[in-house]
A = this chain, B = another copy of it.
Amino acid sequence: MNKYADFKVDAEADLYPTRVAGEQERWIERLDPVVWGDDHPTRHLTALDLESYARKGYLVKHGLFDRDEVSALRDAALALRQAAPRKLGPNVVREPGSGDLRTLFQLEQHHELFDRLSRSERVAGIARRILNDDVYLHQSRLNYKPGFTGKEFYWHSDFETWHAEDGMPRMRALSASVLLTDNDALNGPLMLMPGSHVHYVGCEGETPSNNYESSLKKQEIGTPSPKALDWMAREFGIDYASGKAGTVIFFDSNTIHGSNGNITPFPRSNAFFVFNAVSNQPCDPFAADDPRPEFLGNRSEFDALRIEDTPLK
């Protein structure tokens, strides 16, 4: 029985106001479920996984992809990093000095193996199970953080940006990061505040035009105040998500997260997918004049992903 089967989004209602002119930061309790489905276990999700995800706002699944699959994904990632710039198009972020590829958006459109990864039962299937709806890709990317010079990424809730700038109405989305390299405490892992996802921080300040151009490098609008972060860090603590290549980290759209820089020689690479429920399609941005471009927030392809349960080889 699906208690959210008849759930309809009222796209006009702004349940999570943020960046409102003249208003200060404010706290709003989450109005949406975290796990939208029931707690019956499935092949890749135990009842404990679901309970833990609901409570903490994230879940680390170790060893979802085996050695051969990781090897194939790494080869595909390397091929993309070495591809001629004209093949990849404009939606990339490159290193200022070397021109090396740091981020490639719309990853599933660039390589058949990453298309299959994005539709895998072990990635999209888990997202569909948690969100209890068909899912589509709101955003996707290949991330490559070099060793020695990896930069930090400051604390934020993804949903705050997706709501403000992409017009995503409700918290019925999540991210999945498929680790292509080993990640430990010291090479700039994803840090998360467990439990922060049940509080929404409506942020102070208005969205500048083309905010995404600077926020991809350093987010300054749409981050909680130091006071709010200090409170959350003391209340919830800070976890970090580590694991070997082949691990997948799932986290709720409203979980506060960030990462430190990385001076170790060990680079970090992952394939990153944002799944949104098809019932939660974006409308006009709630706090920006114009929506972000398609490669950052899909506004045209809402077909349910065809999920496949096959090895990636």
Interface residues of A (CB under 8 A from B): 147-148, 152-155, 185-186, 188, 191, 226, 229-230, 233-234, 238, 240, 258-266
Contacts and interface: CB of A to CB of B under 8 A. Distances in A.
A261 B186 CA distance: 11
Contacts of A148: 226, 229
Contact of A185 (B186, B229, B258, B262): B186
Nearest to A185: B185
A153 to B, nearest CB: 8
Nearest to A229: B265
B233 A266 contact: yes
Most chain B beta-carbon neighbours within 10 Å: one of A191, A234, A259, A261: A261
A239 B234 CA distance: 26
Nearest to A234: B265
Stoichiometry, copies per complex: 2
A259 B266 CA distance: 14
Contacts of A261: 152, 260-261
A230 B147 CA distance: 9
A37 to B, nearest CB: 32
A226 B186 contact: no
Contact of A188 (B229, B233, B260, B266): B260
Contact of A226 (B234, B238, B265): B265
Nearest to A262: B260
Given A185-B185, A226-B148, A233 B265 contact: yes
Nearest to A233: B265
Nearest to A242: B185
Contacts of A263: 152-155, 191, 258-260
Contacts of A260: 186, 188, 260-264
Contacts of A185: 185-186, 240
A230 B265 contact: yes
Nearest to A146: B226
Given A185-B185, A185-B186, A191-B186, A264 B226 contact: no
Contacts of A258: 263
A202 to B, nearest CB: 20
B152 A186 contact: no
